[in-house]
């Protein structure tokens, strides 16, 4: 069984990106996060993204509002980032407090700075295969398959999960690569029967160890997007130890998709910068 480690993929992509940035001064390219309230996960992710972006030579703007901020205040903060020419990419971090209308907020995000493909505009472009920013986690899944030379063409890909940030876009991207795609979700009857048909399984349901060895075809490739806590440990949606006896290649958790997602984010910020400064 080949372990599809994310670090090798991330390092390869970062090397290409560094090359493109050779003549740019540190801080020329800037990303921003918009954070509202004190959600622990969102704050941790903002810290991690800040460290990663700065280490890579990007500028970083952290706009943080208290949990008491009104929708109008959050909207104004977003507009200010939209209108700031020094900011190239913006990531609004979820969850936000319940009084914030996040759907309205996301669609107010400038599509040109929408590095994680959240806006309806970019979802439309990606769906119509007309470019646009796609969600970084979905891109990470394909980057891993590409890096390890696993073709999607003609393969049966089964995606477990249909969220707008992972399941749907990764299914569309696999379809674009000429895979035959099935999408499963919480109301799928006989999930095991569908997964067993897959040449490539992409598990993105957020349910610890829900994909067991008996559900996976011998020799299948398994991409585990899930990040869950089980008995004090971080685990994926796939029962790694058992499935590794059946699969031909698999991503670990941690150390798989998550480590590539951040690099996809850095790439997207560069693309946003490039589109504005070089392509015009």
Q: Provide the binding-site residues for ligand NDP, judged by CB under 6 A.
A: 137, 160-163, 165-167, 184-188, 191, 204-207, 210, 225-228, 257-258, 261
Beta-carbon contacts of 96 under 8 Å, excluding residues fewer than 6 positions away, are 36, 37, 74, 102, 105
Question: CB of 76: closest distance to ligand NDP in angstroms?
Answer: 27
277's tokens: 């400064």
144's tokens: 């891993």
Question: CB of 212: closest distance to ligand NDP in angstroms?
Answer: 12
Burial, 102: exposed, middle or buried (Cβ in 10 Å; 0-12, 13-18, 19+)? middle
Residue number with CB closer to ligand NDP (186 or 245): 186
Residue number with CB closer to ligand NDP (118 or 246): 118
Residue number with CB closer to ligand NDP (77 or 165): 165
163 labelled ligand-binding:
yes
- Pairing mode, strands 59-65 and 30-36: parallel
- Spatial distance between the Cα atoms of 262 and 44, rounded to a whole number of angstroms: 13
Question: CB of 203: closest distance to ligand NDP in angstroms?
Answer: 8
253's tokens: 């958790």
- Spatial distance between the Cα atoms of 160 and 182, rounded to a whole number of angstroms: 9
Residue number with CB closer to ligand NDP (181 or 225): 225
Residue number with CB closer to ligand NDP (166 or 268): 166
Question: CB of 184: closest distance to ligand NDP in angstroms?
Answer: 5
Backbone angles phi, psi at 140, to 5 degrees: -60, -40
Asked if 272 and 113 touch (Cβ cutoff 8 Å), the reply is: yes
162 labelled ligand-binding:
yes
Residue number with CB closer to ligand NDP (52 or 163): 163
Which candidate, 143, 98, 163, places its Cα nearest to that of 264? 143
Residue 142 DSSP code = H
Q: Where are the alpha helices (DSSP H) in the chain?
A: 6-20, 40-55, 71-82, 102-108, 120-127, 136-147, 167-176, 191-195, 240-243, 257-277
Question: CB of 259: closest distance to ligand NDP in angstroms?
Answer: 8
Question: CB of 118: closest distance to ligand NDP in angstroms?
Answer: 12
Length of the chain: 280
Question: CB of 277: closest distance to ligand NDP in angstroms?
Answer: 28
Please report, in angstroms and rounded to a whole number, the separation of the first and last CA atoms in the chain: 47
Residue number with CB closer to ligand NDP (77 or 205): 205
Annotated binding site for NADP(+): 161-163, 227
Annotated binding site: 161-163, 227
């Amino acid at each position: 069984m080949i372990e599809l480690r994310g670090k090798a993929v991330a390092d390869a992509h970062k090397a290409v990106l560094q090359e493109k940035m050779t003549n740019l001064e540190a801080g020329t390219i800037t990303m921003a996060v918009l954070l509202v309230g004190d959600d622990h996960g969102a704050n941790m992710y903002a810290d991690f993204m800040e460290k990663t972006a700065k280490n890579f030579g990007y500028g970083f703007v952290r706009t943080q509002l208290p949990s008491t901020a009104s929708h109008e205040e959050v909207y104004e903060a977003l507009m200010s980032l939209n209108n700031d020419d020094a900011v190239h990419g913006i990531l609004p971090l979820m969850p936000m407090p319940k009084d914030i209308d996040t759907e309205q907020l996301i669609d107010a995000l400038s599509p040109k700075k929408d590095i994680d493909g959240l806006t309806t505009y970019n979802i439309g472009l990606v769906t119509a295969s007309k470019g646009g920013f796609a969600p970084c986690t979905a891109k990470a899944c394909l980057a891993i398959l590409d890096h390890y030379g696993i073709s999607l063409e003609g393969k049966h890909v089964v995606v477990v999960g249909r969220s707008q940030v992972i399941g749907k876009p990764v299914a569309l991207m696999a379809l674009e690569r000429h895979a035959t795609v099935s999408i499963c979700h919480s109301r799928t009857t006989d999930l095991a029967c569908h997964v067993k048909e897959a040449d490539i399984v992409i598990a993105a349901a957020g349910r610890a160890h829900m994909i067991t060895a008996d559900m996976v075809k011998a020799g299948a490739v398994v991409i585990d997007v899930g990040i869950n806590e089980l008995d004090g440990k971080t685990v994926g949606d796939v029962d790694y130890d058992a499935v590794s006896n059946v699969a031909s290649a698999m991503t670990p958790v941690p150390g798989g998709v998550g480590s590539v997602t951040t690099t996809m984010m850095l790439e997207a910020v560069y693309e946003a910068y490039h589109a504005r400064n070089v392509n015009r």
